[in-house]
Structure 1
Amino acid sequence: MTALHAARGPVSGPRAAVPFLSDEVVGRQREIELLLAGLDCGAHVVLEGPPGTGKTTLLRAVAEAGGSSFVFVEGNAELTPARLVGQFDPSRVLAEGYVPETFVDGPLIEALRTGGLLYVEEVNRIPEETLNVLITVMSEAELHVPRLGRVRAAEGFRLVAAMNPFDAVGTARISSAIYDRVCRIVMGYQSHDEENDIVARRCPPVPAPWRDRVVDLVRRTREHADVRVGSSVRGAIDVVRLSVSLARIRGAEATEWRVGHDAAMAALSGRIGMHESSGRTAESVIDELYVAVFGEESAPKEPEGGEPPGEA
C-alpha cells in the first residue's frame, strides 16, 4: 500500500475522498480524485492546462497529504540529460575516481532513490534527448547511468509532468511515446465562485461585491474575441492586491474607479495575448472590459457654488 493510498483511508462518498486537501485546493474534486487514483495505481500523469489553473498547487498538496517527497524540475531548453540525471563531481573524481560517492544526484535520481514524486513543469519545453531519458524511466522503472550503474525506482516513484497547451513559443509537440506512458488530466479554469474564493484567500480584505466584479473582469478576458489567451486567476489576485496598495499610496479607497482601473491595467495588460489580426492593444481591451464591468468613470464633483474648478 502506498503512502497516498494509506493517507486516504476508507471512502464513503464523492467528497470523502479528499477531505485532507480541502484547505489547500479550492474545488478540483474530479481532478484530485483522478490524480490520487493515477498515482495510487502506479501510473505516471500529465497535467495539461493553461497557467494559473493550480497544477503545481494540486500536486504539492497531494504529495504533502500522502507524505511523499516532492522533487521539482523547471522544464526549459537548458534541461539537459546531465542536469536531470546528475553527474560525477570532477574535482572528487580526480582524487577518488568514479565511485558512487563522487556522483551528485540530479532531481531524477533523487526521486528514483527516495520513491518521490518528480514534477516536471512545462515538459513540452525540454529537449528531445531529455524526454527520451524520461521515457526510459517510465518504461523500465530504472535508469542505467554510465560508470554508476543501474538505479532502480524505489516504491512510490511517480513522474508527473505539466504543460500549457496554448503556449506555442519555445515549445515542442509531445510525442505519442510520452502520451502512451501517462494518464492525461486536463485542468481548465475553475468556476466563478471558486476563483472568487481563491482571491479572497490570497488577498487583503476588500468588499465582496467589488472583489466579485474583479473576478468577472478577469474571466471576461478569456472570452473576448480579440484575445488569444486570457488572464488566469492570478490576474485577479494582483488586481486586488495592487488596488489595496495603490489606494494606500494615494490616500484613497481600493474600490475607487481610477484606482481599480490603473491596477487592472498594470496587472492584466501583460497577461493577455492578443490575436495578431485584431490590430488592438491589450490596454484598449482591458479598458473596454473594465468599463463594461465597473461602468464609466464618474465626472469629478464641482465645488460648492457651481463654479468650475480653477475659475475665480
Structure 2
Amino acid sequence: MAVATPAPATVPVVGRSREVELLVAALEAGAHVVLEGPPGTGKTTLLRAVADEARLSFVFVEGNAELTPARLVGHFDPAQVLERGYTPDTFVDGSLAEALRSGALLYVEEINRIPEETLNVLITVMSEGELHVPRLGRIVAAEGFRLVAAMNPFDAVGTARISAAVYDRVCRIAMGYQSASDEAAVVALRGPDVDEQWRAKVVSLVRRTREHPDVHVGSSVRGAIDVVRITAALAARRCCGITDWRTGLDAALVSLSGRIRLTESGSRTAEDVVRELYRAEFGEEPAPDDDGDPGEQGGGAPGGA
C-alpha cells in the first residue's frame, strides 16, 4: 500500500531559483506540472525540496512499462473479497488513490515510459479531479492534490511520445544543464572535500562530453560526482595524491564511459572519447620523474588505461 509521507530532507537545490519559483507558482495555482530535461538536472531534487519546504505530502511513482492501471490505482484484496465481498475495506489503495485521498503531490518519474492505458488514467484524473474505480465508486481528489511528472526528452529507449492530451493538461518547466559554477557547487556538496581547482577541471571534463561531435548524449553532473569520489578512493588505495594523472583517468573511464552515448555513425569507443577529453582537460600524462615524485604524477600508480 502506498503511503504519502512528508518528503525527507534533501540536498539543497543549487542554482535553480527560477525553476523553484515557477514550480511553486504553478502548484499554488492548482496546475499539474511536467519537469522536462536530461538526466541529472535535479528534477527529483527540485520537487522534493519544494515539497519539504512547504511540508507537503509526497507520493513517488517510478514510471516504467510494468506500471499497469491496477498497480497505479489499487486493487481489491482477493482473500478479503472472498470473506467480505467488494467493500471499501477490502480495497488496497495504489499510489494514485492514496495521493487523491490525502491531497498529496503525486510524482511520476519517467512518465514517457508508462503504458498508454495507464497514462489515460492520469489524463482522466487531471481533467476531472476524480477517479472512478469499478465496484468501489468515485475517489474525489482532496484539496492539494497535484500531479508532477518528470521526463527525459532525449531518451528514446523504452519510451513513447507524450500525447498532446497530456501536454494540454500540464504546465511544462524545461530544465537544462546548470552553469559550470553551479555544477561545481553540486559536486562540492555531494563529493569529498578536494582541491577546488582540480574539482573545477573535473566538472569541465564532464561538460566537454556534452559538446563532443562523436557524443549524442553527454554525462550529467552525476558523472563528475563519481569521478571525484572514485578518484579519492583510488588515491587512498594507491597511496598517491588525488591529482595524480593516471588515477584521475582511471576514475574518469569508470565514471563516464557508461554514461555517454555515442552517435550511431561513429566508429570510436566511449573509452576513446573519454581518454581524448581527459587529455584535453588535464594535459598529457607527465613523465614518471617529473618533479621527482612518480606517485604524484602517475608513474607509480598501478593499473593501466
Q: Which amino acid aligns with 1:131?
A: L
SS where residue 277 of structure 1 aligns?
coil
- Report the counterpart of residue 100 of structure 1 in structure 2: 88
Matched residue count: 285
Q: Does 1:164 align with 2:157?
A: no
* 240, 245, 269: which one aligns with 2:228: 240
Which 5+ residue runs of structure 2 have no aligned equivalent? 1-8, 293-298, 300-305
Give per-residue Cα distances to partners, 1:215-234, cap 9 Å, x unaligned. Answer: 00000000000000000000
Which of 77, 90, 99 is residue 89 of structure 1 equivalent to? 77
* Aligned-pair CA distance for 1:151: 0.3
Counterpart position of 2:68: 80
- Confirm or deny that 1:146 pairs with 2:134: yes
* 1:23 to 1:277, Cα distance in 2 relative to 1, 3 A: closer
Aligned: 1:115 with 2:100: no
The one of 270, 275, 280 equivalent to 1:282 is 270
User: Which stretch has the larger CA shift, 187-196 or 90-99?
Assistant: 90-99
Q: 1:290 to 1:181 in 2, by over 3 A?
A: same
Letter in 2 for 1:231: S
2:31 is aligned to: 43
Distance in 1 of aligned mates of 2:226 and 2:11: 21
Instruction: Tell me whether 1:266 sits opposite 2:250 in the alignment.
Output: no
Of 210, 213, 238, 1:225 maps to 213
Structure-2 residue corresponding to 1:175 = 163
Q: 1:22, CA displacement in angstroms?
A: 11
Q: Aligned residue for 1:5?
A: none
Q: Is the 8 A contact 2:10 2:45 kept in 1?
A: no
Residues 23 and 202 (structure 1 numbering): CA distance in 2 closer, same or farther, change over 3 Å? Answer: closer
* Other-structure match for 2:16: 28
What is the CA deviation profile of residues 126-159 of structure 1, one whole-angstrom value per residue up to 9, with x for unaligned ones? 0000000000000000001011110000000000
Deviation at 1:97, TM superposition (A): 1.0
Question: Residues 97-126 of structure 1, C-alpha deviation per residue, up to 9 Å, x if partnerless?
Answer: 111111110000010011000000100010
How far the C-alpha of 1:67 sits from its partner, in A, is 1.1
How far apart, CA to CA, are the structure 2 residues paired with 1:280 and 1:39?
46
Letter in 2 for 1:218: V
Displacement after TM superposition at 1:177 (Å) = 0.2
SS at match of 2:251: helix
TM-score normalised by the chain length of structure 1: 0.89
Are 2:29 and 1:62 equivalent residues in the alignment?
no
Q: CA deviation at 1:254?
A: 1.4
Q: Distance in 1 between matches of 2:287 and 2:125?
A: 65
Report the counterpart of residue 182 of structure 2 in structure 1: 194
The offset of 1:23, in angstroms, is 6.8
| C-alpha distance in 2 between matches for 1:259 and 1:105 | 50
User: Which structure 1 segments of 5+ residues have no match?
Assistant: 1-20
3-state SS of paired residue (1:57): helix
- TM-score for the superposition, normalised by structure 2: 0.91
Tell me, yes or no, if structure 1 residue 257 matches structure 2 residue 249. no
Deviations 1:193-220 (A, max 9, x none): 0000000011111100000000000000
Distance apart, 1:39 and its partner CA: 0.3
CA RMSD for the aligned pairs? 1.7
Letter aligned with residue 49 of structure 1: G
| Partner Cα distance (2:289, 2:180) in 1 | 35
What SS class does the counterpart of residue 160 from structure 1 fall into? strand
Q: Give 3-state SS (helix, strand or coil) of 1:59's partner.
A: helix
Letter in 1 for 2:185: D
Q: Deviations over 1:16-59 (max 9, x none)?
A: xxxxx997100111111110011000000000000000000000
